[in-house]
Structure 1
Amino acid sequence: MRADARRNRAGIVAAARAAVAEGGGEVPLEQIASRAQVTARTLFRHFPTRDDLLAAVLDDYFAERVEPVLLRAAADPDPHRAMVTVLTESATAFVEHPGMLTLIDGGALTGGIATRYRRPLAEVLSRARLAGVVRADVTPDDFPCLVTMLVASARHAPGGWSRYLALLVDSLSPEAARTPLPPAGT
């Protein structure tokens, strides 16, 4: 890709990301093109559909905010702290930018992202299980739901969601596992 094409693509993603931060993913694409100082034709050449553009925005955000958290957690020798870091920092990323969570809520945009981040998350969780600091029936697929619950609590108790994080972390301990978790999706 030529330098000007890369610059246009980056500008479009940055403009779309700012628009999502302001009001979710429903901003008109023509407005994003205008903010990026490109024509609508240029925007559509890079992103043929709205979903293509929003997936790129979400991918950019995950690469900036979530991937470093997972890498830091994977390198942390303390499995409990690593797990808490993933929950805390992932929730913080979406508390600070709730528009990004609206993109995830649809699910269609997250397929590739979920696949890319599931493995490091599974490794952090596996280490925590082996160390006996997390209940055995928690799965990597539980984490996006847990983060969403934390973000929802932040909407209802701004500044106080750390209380719910502490409750959640305590509920993940093996000592809290009085009853097995039902299968996911039931």
Structure 2
Amino acid sequence: MAESRNGQVRADSRRNRAAIVTAARAAVAELGDKVSLEQIARLAQVNTRTLFRHFPTKDDLLAAVLEDYFAERVEPVLRRAAADPDPRRALETVLTESTTAFVEQPGVLALISGGARTSGIAPRYLEPLAEILTRARKAGAVRDDLTPDDIPCLVTMLVAGASHAGPDWPRYLALVLDSLPPEAARAPLPPISR
């Protein structure tokens, strides 16, 4: 009987955690990271004590939102791109789908501020991205001076442009994609200062 009760408590805890992360994602989409934990608790239909038991700090909760969104929207793109035999198309897939994911949820992109929130996610994004980019460079599909650090910057730039261009943002994505082949390079890129 105690075992059955413990199983129910664990199930309730998982449900509460999922409800909190779902509510936080919705709140972040609407209000960005300025949303209060009390607002999120109300949306999740839990009390603040329950919220704090799962997420002791706001940064812990926002990191969970990033983790959830990354697992749902970005990791599948990276897996699909890694499996694509065409290295240029693989890189285009990453740029297109990553940009689309963040255009759809600009509040999530705003959460990416480095530090603790992205410490576990960044390597999981950059490592497969580096492999995809290395494959594209070896195939001569992209310029040699493009680095894995350039890709998140390009995505951020495209998402920022989407707020200005609205539904026409794919035009600027096409412009960026056209600049990637070696024959499009008129001069080497300036070195990264770090």
Q: TM-score, structure 2 length as denominator? A: 0.92
Distance 2:30 2:162 in 1: 18
What residue identity is the alignment partner of 1:82? A
Shift of 1:178: 2.5
Match of 2:143 in 1: 135
- Is residue 2:41 matched to residue 1:42? no
Name segments (4+ residues, structure 1) moved above 3 Å.
none
Correspondence for 2:103: 95
| Mapping 1:55-134, distance limit 5 Å | 55-104=63-112, 106-108=113-115, 109-134=117-142
What displacement does 1:140 show? 0.9
Q: Deviation per CA, 1:138-184, whole angstroms, max 9, x where unpaired?
A: 11111110001111111111111111111111111111222222222
1: CA distance, partners of 2:28 / 2:192: 30
Distance of 1:101 and 1:165 partners within structure 2: 17
Q: Distance in 2 between the 1:85 and 1:31 partners?
A: 36
Task: Return the index of the structure with the highest Cα Rg.
Answer: 2
Indicate the larger mover: 61-70 or 174-183. Answer: 174-183
CA shift for structure 1 position 107: 1.9
- Aligned partner (choices 138, 163, 176) of residue 184 of structure 2: 176
Once the two structures are TM-superposed, the CA of residue 133 in structure 1 deviates from its matched residue by: 0.6
- Which residue of 2 is the match for residue 12 of structure 1? 20
Deviation of 1:81 after TM superposition, in Å, equals 0.7
Residue 25 of structure 1, CA deviation: 1.2
The separation in 2 between residues aligned to 1:124 and 1:149, in whole angstroms, is: 20
Which one-letter code corresponds to 1:134 in the other structure?
V
Structure 2 unaligned spans of 5+: 1-8
Identical counterparts, % of pairs: 74
Q: Distance in 1 between matches of 2:64 and 2:191?
A: 32
Q: Secondary structure at the match of 1:2?
A: helix
More helix by share: 2
Partners of 1:52 and 1:169 lie apart in 2 by: 35
- Is structure 2 residue 167 aligned with structure 1 residue 162? no
- Give me the CA root mean square deviation: 1.3
Any unmatched runs of 5+ in structure 1?
none
Distance 1:161 1:18 in 2: 23
Q: Which secondary structure does the structure 1 equivalent of 2:69 belong to?
A: helix
